[in-house]
């Protein structure tokens, strides 16, 4: 057995080391261990192995390699210096379209899938017989799929026409909104906290500074979670441009300069996301209204903000601006959180009105106009005047212009792509994941769907079970749900037993001097099996995952009541609510088991 040592350059993280290690271990008769910290590979070979093959294998993953020679079998002494050239190598660049990425002939000949790929105009793969996957989009679903697919031996081409990659969540959704909500919550607590002995004060808000800090974190996360992936995975390549189907197997990608590339791949994943839905209210289209995208980076706090909508985005941003000092009026088409347990929306209406918002339910504007200085929103003969108007009425799938009809991909009337639980569309070789489909529009659903789509595209069998999908609206208190509501269970013909526990019965809520909200459990009447949970509480988002696990594992309310929960925590409320199926918790001592 021969023992060799290689110096590896260009690694930027521990994953780089694992990638180089995998490339070496794929060679016959080779066992290797790569250390990111040392920038070294320790290699054992059976018999004579051409060292150039070792260097080429490392180069195939985009890193530099240099043979340092035989490795001593005795341990290195304390004073011995290790070879120079650790992991602080130059940052790797995106592999240009048409490049072979330095992939050696030995690696290109490895057969992972019997089909070959034809990518016209610009060759994005090397015709090495490996399965090729084209992904339209570069958000959470797309990247989750790309990482999984290359891990299963495929080559991936990401196609994205937007200026930045990463999709909605990191750029204009989850990340910036939660930063804004957190900042607004702190401002609110300074003026309205419940504790005696600590003075209240009205904070001075520098909205521009908040936005700068928020966007700096957005940019950092976009680089770490998306751009860095492209630097780390040489088998994921980015093609800039907007894609459309020419036929079921061919995508035409139009670049910013007007040039076009035709792409054919073994499998295609559509992961194009969604955009804010704009209602056909007379006059609205010609006004400078906000969607969540503009609202999140607005550097001035409106004097009066009117919000159209009663779901998650409308309520989260509406409360955030309210707490930052704006006067807020919310016009909801029906009620707050109309698809959820009614008590959740009712509880939030009370909170919003207590904090000073004006709430109008079952209200849709008749018309909107802008006079150059302000919006005039016509509602039932009344004219509401405001300086900003936020339209937050849901999101529409980004499928227009893809030419799905030429690929045989079926959609709903709103453009959402119809998929099954394996993310398969009506075209056998085309899959879809994320907000462009008819699945729930949550980033964690998109990522899970992308991963499973990749497994299925590369010969596996993975379904996505959404029966215990938790969801959170990040208001304060937050509204969180999982499983079935009482009404949903009834519509399925399931007899239920339910209990609702006011947070005044949860010791942690009492200790927090914040008893706003409740916990509701929905159980099957005969078996006691937990079917659904709805929570309105400041920590609802932290509570709901425990409920999701209980539903996933088919626990009964008796099972839940018998579990150990830490004291004092809000999640203990799940146990207390479960106990109410058999006991009066008001008659129990603290921590009663």
Catalytic positions are: 11, 13, 16, 63, 169, 174, 590-591
pLDDT greater than 60 at residue 73: no
Q: How far apart are CA 326 and CA 322, in angstroms?
A: 5
Block residue for tokens 């699945």: 439
Same domain, 399 and 386: no
Same domain, 431 and 506: no
The domain boundary residue, chosen from 377, 393, 409: 393
- Single out the residue of 143, 67, 177, 51 nearest to residue 473, CA to CA: 177
- 9: helix, strand or coil: strand
Same domain, 190 and 333: no
The domain boundary residue, chosen from 466, 501, 520: 466
Residue 267 lies in a domain: yes
Q: How many domains does the chain have?
A: 4
Same domain, 214 and 67: no
Same domain, 481 and 578: yes
Residue 67 lies in a domain: yes
> Residue 288 half-sphere exposure, CB side, CA atoms within 13 Å?
11
Residue 256 lies in a domain: yes
Q: What's residue 114's pLDDT? A: 27
* Prior bond of 477 cis (ω within 30°): yes
Same domain, 555 and 459: no
Q: Residue 85 corresponds to which tokens in the numbers above?
A: 């050239």
Q: What's residue 534's pLDDT? A: 98
- Single out the residue of 459, 431, 501 nearest to residue 272, CA to CA: 431
Q: What is the DSSP string of 225-261?
A: IIIHHHHH-TTEEEEESEEEEEETTEEEEE-TTS-EE
**Percentage of residues in the chain having pLDDT higher than 70:** 88
Same domain, 150 and 235: yes
CATH of the domain at 386: 3.50.50.60
Residue 113 lies in a domain: no
Q: In terms of residue numbers, what domain contains 526?
A: 471-587
Same domain, 298 and 203: no
Q: What's residue 591's pLDDT? A: 64
The beta strand positions in 24-119, using DSSP E, are 30-35, 40-45, 64-70
pLDDT greater than 80 at residue 120: no
Q: What's residue 25's pLDDT? A: 84
Min mean pLDDT across 36-50, 112-126, 275-289 is at 112-126
* Prior bond of 568 cis (ω within 30°): yes
Q: What's residue 583's pLDDT? A: 86
What average pLDDT does this structure show over 542-562? 98
Between 117 and 36, the more confident residue is 36
Q: What's residue 15's pLDDT? A: 64
Same domain, 329 and 460: no
Same domain, 528 and 426: no
Residue 97 lies in a domain: no
Predicted confidence band at 36 (pLDDT cuts at 50, 70, 90)?
confident
Q: In whole angstroms, what separates CA 15 from the centre of its chain? A: 21
CATH of the domain at 5: 3.30.70.100
- Single out the residue of 513, 514, 549, 509 nearest to residue 530, CA to CA: 549
pLDDT tens per residue, range 299-354: 999 999 999 999 999 999 999 999 999 999 999 999 999 999 999 999 999 999 99
pLDDT greater than 50 at residue 492: yes
pLDDT tens per residue, range 520-536: 999 999 999 999 999 99
Same domain, 214 and 341: no
pTM of the predicted structure, to 2 decimals = 0.79
Answer for the pair 552, 525: CB distance below 8 angstroms, yes or no.
no
Answer for the pair 255, 120: CB distance below 8 angstroms, yes or no.
no
Q: How far apart are CA 326 and CA 357, in angstroms?
A: 9
Residues 6+ apart with CB under 8 A from 65: 6, 7, 8, 9, 20, 41, 54, 55, 58, 59
CATH of the domain at 498: 3.30.390.30
The domain boundary residue, chosen from 466, 500, 526: 466
Residue 307's beta-bridge partner residues? Answer: 330, 390
pLDDT tens per residue, range 183-235: 999 999 999 999 999 999 999 999 999 999 999 999 999 999 999 999 999 99
pLDDT greater than 70 at residue 458: yes
What does residue 59 show for φ and ψ, rounded to 5 degrees? Answer: -65, -30
Q: What's residue 26's pLDDT? A: 80
**Tell me, what DSSP letter sits at residue 223?**
I
Q: What's residue 79's pLDDT? A: 36
pLDDT greater than 50 at residue 560: yes
Q: Residue 73 corresponds to which tokens in the numbers above?
A: 């079998």
Same domain, 459 and 384: no
Residue 37 lies in a domain: yes
């Amino acid at each position: 057995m021969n023992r060799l040592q290689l110096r590896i350059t260009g690694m930027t993280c521990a994953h780089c080391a694992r990638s180089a290690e995998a490339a070496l271990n794929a060679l016959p008769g080779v066992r290797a261990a790569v250390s990111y910290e040392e920038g070294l590979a320790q290699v054992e070979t059976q018999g004579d192995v051409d060292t150039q093959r070792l260097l080429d294998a490392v180069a195939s993953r985009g890193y530099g390699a240099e043979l340092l020679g035989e490795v001593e079998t005795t341990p290195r002494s304390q004073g011995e210096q290790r070879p120079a050239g650790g992991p602080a190598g130059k940052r790797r660049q995106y592999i240009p379209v048409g490049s072979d990425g330095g992939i050696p002939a030995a690696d290109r000949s490895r057969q992972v899938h019997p089909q070959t790929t034809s990518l016209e105009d610009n060759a994005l793969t090397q015709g090495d017989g490996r399965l090729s996957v084209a992904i339209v989009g570069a958000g959470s679903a797309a990247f989750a799929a790309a990482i999984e697919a290359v891990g299963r031996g495929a080559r991936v081409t990401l196609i994205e026409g937007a200026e930045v990659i990463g999709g909605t969540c990191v750029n204009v959704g989850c990340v910036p909104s939660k930063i804004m909500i957190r900042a607004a919550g702190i401002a609110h607590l300074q003026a309205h906290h419940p504790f005696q002995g600590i003075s209240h004060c009205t904070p001075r808000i520098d909205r521009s500074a908040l936005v700068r800090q928020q966007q700096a974190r957005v940019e950092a996360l976009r680089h770490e979670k998306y751009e860095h992936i492209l630097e780390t995975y040489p088998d994921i390549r980015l093609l800039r441009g907007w894609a459309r189907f020419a036929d079921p197997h061919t995508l035409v990608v139009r670049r910013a300069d007007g040039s076009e590339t035709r792409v054919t791949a073994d499998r295609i994943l559509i992961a194009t996301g969604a955009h804010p839905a704009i209602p056909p209210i007379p006059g609205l289209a010609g006004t400078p209204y906000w969607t969540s995208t503009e609202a999140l980076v607005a550097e001035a706090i409106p004097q009066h903000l009117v919000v159209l909508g009663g779901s998650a985005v409308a309520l989260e941003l509406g409360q955030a601006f309210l707490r930052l000092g704006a006067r807020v009026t919310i016009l909801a088409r029906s009620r707050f959180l109309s698809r959820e347990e009614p008590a959740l929306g009712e509880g939030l209406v009370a909170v919003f009105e207590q904090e000073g918002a004006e709430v109008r339910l079952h209200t849709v504007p008749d018309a909107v106009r802008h006079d150059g200085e302000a919006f005039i929103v016509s509602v039932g003969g009344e004219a509401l005047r405001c300086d900003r108007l936020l339209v937050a009425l849901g999101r529409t799938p980004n499928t227009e212009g893809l030419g799905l009809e030429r690929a045989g991909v079926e959609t709903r009337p709103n453009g959402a792509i119809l998929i099954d639980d394996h993310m398969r569309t009506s075209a056998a070789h085309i899959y879809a994941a994320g907000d462009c489909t008819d699945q729930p529009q949550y980033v964690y659903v998109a990522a899970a769907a992308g991963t499973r789509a990749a497994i299925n595209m590369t010969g596996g069998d993975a379904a996505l079970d959404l029966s215990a999908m938790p969801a959170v609206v990040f208001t304060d208190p937050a509204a969180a749900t999982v499983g079935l509501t009482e009404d949903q269970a009834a519509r399925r013909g399931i007899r239920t037993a339910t209990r609702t526990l006011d947070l005044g019965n949860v010791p942690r809520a009492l200790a927090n001097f914040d008893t706003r909200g409740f916990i509701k459990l929905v159980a099957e009447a005969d078996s006691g099996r937990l079917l659904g949970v709805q929570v309105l509480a400041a920590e609802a988002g932290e509570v709901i995952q425990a409920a999701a696990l209980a539903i996933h594992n088919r626990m009964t309310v008796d099972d839940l009541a018998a579990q150990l929960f830490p004291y004092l925590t809000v999640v203990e409320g799940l146990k207390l609510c479960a106990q109410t199926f058999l006991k009066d918790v008001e008659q129990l001592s603290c921590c009663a088991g």
